[in-house]
Amino acid sequence: MTAAGRKRVLSGMRPTGRLHIGHYFGALENWVKLQNNQHEYECFFFIADWHALTSDYADTSQVAQNTIEIATDWLASGLDPAKCTMFIQSSVPEHAELHLLLSMITPLSWLERVPTYKEALDNIKDKDLHTYGFLGYPVLQTADIVMYGAEKELIVPVGEDQAVHVEVSREIVRRFNAFYGLSFNDKFIAYFQPDRDKSPVENSALLAFVNDITGHGEKLVPADRLDVISAVRTNALKMGPKNFLEKYDQREEYSSFREVLTEPQVLLTKTPRVPGMDGRKMSKSYGNFISLSESNESIRTKTRAMITDPARKRRTDPGNPDVCPVYDLHKLFSLPETLVWVDVGCRTAGIGCIECKTAMADNLIKWIEPVRARREEYAAHPDQVLRIIDEGSLKAREVAQKTMSRVREAVFNWKEKRAEIGAAYVERNAD
């Protein structure tokens, strides 16, 4: 596949501070695989600092530092600026402009029905989330994603539980394209020129087309042009532009459709279960995580306190590793022979939980040491980290500016208007 034919990949993270092993296995591991497949994918990964404001707008004092921390963890985890573009959301202001335009056409009811919006309002009581920024989160997210479509196949790597968010983006893009992707060819426009010498055949074809859609009748005059275009757009929006053009077979005659923005596709990724120290999903909000910069001593202290199979009340009680969070971590860090040792030893009470935890911690430490070492190297040179994401932001903005040039023209038709005014000026001066 040529560079031009590669699929674009877009994903990002909010700057919440240093990342943990749940972030690595939930996203970063897959991002590294995608960036390394240079033949098929062109990857853009961004730090969503504007998204951080949707819920944490009251205190932004740590956003800049957290951005550096996340970028440092990305580099330590294997993201390579030579193979992907890493950038800061707010350094590409075109995201805000596209967000504004998309917000104009997004029905309020679409945002209110997003499951995570309702859940957050019900569950988060220590923050005031009754703001447009929080409600409009999916619109900004859509702008972030589709900015990088540029008429290429655009994919978003997500787990099954996140696919619904991409579907909201797809709906918003379809609606935007229905409004601004439908254009009318010269033949249609020329029909409404008062000095146009139209043949009966042209009259018949256009009148049949317009009358079937609008019920306007068979007498059209130049003043009808905008009303007819509005009626055609309304009909196309109801049917969907592609269905509209297929039904009326008018692609070459009077109207055409172009996808101004590219509908994103979901790339479902399998993510392993990464339990926290208390058995729940590893999360900063639960305080049950092991960070990518965790010290060996801290890892051993945290893992010794991990929840295990509640059936093993005594050392001699057999257990079930399939319900034990420690075994889930073994699957991530231990070799196959160790997994067999744990499985058999747990079920037969041949090993105790302390032995099991110690072995898991040993293997976790072996895995994390090179990541931590790379992190320490980058952390010692924050200027280098900042330079990488600043350069990535410039590269991302080049793509974003091309997208917005296309979007602005589709929405406002300034090219057509400027040409019209220019032609009128030339005609006046020719006289």
Could you please report the per-residue DSSP string of 60-119?
-TTHHHHHHHHHHHHHHHT--TTTEEEEEGGG-THHHHHHHHHHHHS-HHHHHT-HHHHH
Q: Which of 22, 21, 39, 41 is nearest to 31 (CA)?
A: 41
Lowest-pLDDT range of 206-220, 371-385, 400-414 = 206-220
Place of tokens 């990949």: 9
Contact 363, 334 (CB under 8 A): yes
**What is the secondary structure of 50-73 as a DSSP string?**
HHHHHHHTT--TTHHHHHHHHHHH
Q: What is the pLDDT of residues 221-258, one digit of tens each?
A: 666 777 777 777 777 777 776 777 677 655 456 677 78
Highest mean pLDDT out of 229-243, 246-260, 320-334, 414-428: 320-334
Cβ neighbors of 300 (< 8 A, separation 6 or more) are 358, 361, 365
Distance from C-alpha of 329 to C-alpha of 317, rounded to nearest angstrom: 21
Question: Taking the model in full, what pTM does it have?
Answer: 0.88
> What is the distance between the alpha carbons of residues 214 and 229, in angstroms, rounded to a whole number?
10
Q: Which residues, at least 6 apart from 361, have a Cβ–Cβ distance to it below 8 Å?
A: 299, 300, 303, 304
Q: Which of 38-52, 64-78, 161-175 has the lowest mean pLDDT?
A: 161-175
Cα end-to-end distance, the chain, whole Å: 55
**Of 27-31, 75-79, 113-117, 351-355, which gets the smallest average pLDDT?**
113-117
Q: Give percent of the chain above pLDDT 70.
A: 87
Average pLDDT, the chain: 88
Give the CA diameter of the chain: 105
Residue 176 predicted with pLDDT over 70: yes
User: pLDDT digits over 81-139, tens only?
Assistant: 999 999 999 999 999 999 999 999 999 999 988 887 877 777 777 788 889 999 999 99
Give the mean model confidence (pLDDT) for residues 30-50. Answer: 96
- Beta carbons of 205 and 196 less than 8 angstroms apart: no
Predicted local distance difference test score (pLDDT) of residue 417? 84
CA distance 276 to 329: 9
Under the banding of pLDDT at 50, 70 and 90, the label for residue 21 is very high
Of the pLDDT bands very low, low, confident and very high (cuts 50, 70, 90), residue 424 is confident
* Buried/exposed code over 232-247 (b: 16+ C-beta within 10 A; e: otherwise): bbeebbebbbbebbee
Res. 186: pLDDT tops 80: no
What one-character-per-residue DSSP string does 215-260 give?
A: ---S---GGGHHHHHHHHHHHHHHH-HHHHHHHHT-TTTTEEE--S
